Chains A and B, each alone.
Chain A
Amino acid sequence: MLRAALCAGVAWPAAAAAQAPGSALAELASRAELVGTARVEWAFGLSDAESQKLELVLEPELELELPAGLDLTAVGRLRADAFDELEPGAPTQHERSVISRRALVGDRVDLELRELYVEGEVGRALFTLGKQQIVWGRADGLKVLDVVNPQDFREFILPDFDESRIPLWAVNTEVPLGEFALQLVWLPDPTFHDLPEEDALFAFTSPELIPSAPPGVPVTQRSVDRPREFIRDSDAGARLSTSLGGFDLTLNYLWHYDDEPVLFREILAEPTGPRVVVAPGYERTQLVGATFANAFGELTVRGELGFSIDRFFPTEDPADPDGVVRANELDWVLGLDWYGLRETLLSVQLFQTRLSRDPAGMIRDEFATNVTFLARREFRNDRVAAQLACIHGVDHGDGLARARVGFELREGLELFAGLDVFYGSERGVFGEFDHNDRLVVGFEIGL
């Protein structure tokens, strides 16, 4: 009955309308499935002994069988936070296109259409049309090729990527070609990383990311010059997949706007002294990449390589005319997963980044290295799951260590507790959040 009532607002073809209203509803309900989750999570800051959030997240999901073998999926999200520390006030959402913005209800509640797409097949080709997540790559925790969708950094990289990835309106097709599969994507939705504003708990402050003006020099920030044309500013990409000699292989290409804003800088000589003007904008780049994975006994090996052409990086060199340096970027990751202990996964990854240029003043290092470690074990017939994870930035000696325990109390109800600890130099991208260590407890119910 509930399902029928909830589905009553969905449009349905004329054939169904011709039936008696009751039977049309029953027919509709028989083709629909409504599920969802409700999660309550409290995060308590250990440095300042203050709550970071007390959040209720509802995620209903509707799946509906349409005529002609089509399937419709709709996923919504309601998020209510009692403390409003993660996004104080009403965020501007200037990074998002008008069709991908959240609806804000006051300062503490937001509603978002997370996904809305139709899937179907034409011959052996599969297409997915609508708002969706397109995921590339094989790495955990950090990203090399998983950049088709931008990311919401409201809680830095703490949430699952499934939650922090910003779904985009896209045409996504996958066509089998003999031993290969070709995926073609087109994303007419100019939406970029959602970065926390200055007063937010997880606002970026690391000089690795944010350039600073000399002491005493005033800074003016212009409004963001964001691409807004849905067609002209769209992204497009392709992925070719195959299996060869036991290896799962992909070749990837993405022509896209870099989701990180480029901070163009101008230094004005004014009567009162110099003034720095920052004009954020977005620039196109091309990403060429490849991935592989294979299993060798108890060991799984996986890797990704990404080469970005023409990215822009800020420089503090006052002689630089626009404050940014154009360079190519090579990123790669090698991961090893070991399954040698029963009910246990041990995983390590090595990430490296290299820039093609390193002129004086660049605030990013030419090389950057991160290593990750993950240990996960399940107990008591998968009723209890424990996980330890760490991302360590080698260059600044900073990092993020995480521990989590989940307990399935009863059917569909999981209790969880966790600890997130940032450490190291405040110059580092992890160490900058050293004051945000937190204890997390909560529960999730399947609806």
Chain B
Amino acid sequence: MARVLNIKQFVIFIILFIICFLFTVSDSLPQVQNQKCMICHGKPDISKKREDGSVKMLFVNDSMLLHSAHSKITCYDCHNDIVEITALGHKKNINKVQCTRCHYDNNPVGAPETEKYREFQESVHQQELNNGNPKAPVCQTCHGSHDILHAKTLSSLELKKKITQTCGQCHLDIYTTYKSSVHGKAIFDKNITDVPVCTDCHGEHTIKKTDDPESSVFKTTVYSTCGSCHASEKIVEKYGIKADKFKTYESSYHGIAVQFGEKTAANCASCHGIHDIRPQNDPASLIHPDNIVKTCGKCHPDANANYAKGRIHINPHSEESGSIYYISSTFKWLTIITLTLLAIHVILDLVRKLKHKRAK
């Protein structure tokens, strides 16, 4: 035989080859691979009944998946315990997706490498998971699952608002309090992005229990967390808040005590509130003139009207402090003048005594 294949066989071979090639290429596109799953999970009413009677929706929005950060990976990449799919579906009791399957250092699939899941190990949420709290959040609780997005795809305003809502899923009462606070109103009503949302004070993956000394809102360190904005003229003076409030607190008795680790001394939140911080002119504010004595009374039970009669956060170097400024300047000059006269006296006395000694 001179020819191995005749023309007919050759054409069939080429056609088969092209078909196979197309299948291979197209099969590697996630949308095509996911097609099989979407036969069932693309139906909006697909759901399952849990053992406790609750219903879990199993619908996956294909287009949401396509726009998510994971648009380039397939269902199997995360749901790797599903190996066999029959006409009846797949095995029950699918495991929860473990994000750390890809998200670890030097992973071969090119998933972003970050410290964050290691930070999370130390967090209060991981602690709760370890304690078996069924409500404790995992990655998906905050980041979403099929709708997961890169943080950078959102504007900072959208992102900040979304963060409060994300935390609010579980911490609903705090979310409502926060929303009516000066910070909450600024972001929700005035679209000001300088204000802190949950993560700005509490941290993200590092979040600790408030009574953990390492927490960013621990009694003796929370002042520096507030100070990260309130000590910055650039940030707060735009909104008519003096940046010296931070320094004046630091040099006050409360501030000094806190810096020496005194947990009972007042920090920012003791007087201003935590999630319920309101501007001074708000009658519900803890530092409204009508409420301030009560606020002092939280720690100083004998506080009466005299206790709060006067300025707080006094800066002796600012003319606005009135008598304090003038007394402090007077003393400064008194000290300078006295010491100058004294220095003159000592020098004259010294010169005279040395001369006298030499004459002897």
Partners in one complex: no
Residues of A within 8 A of B (CB): none
Residues of B within 8 A of A (CB): none
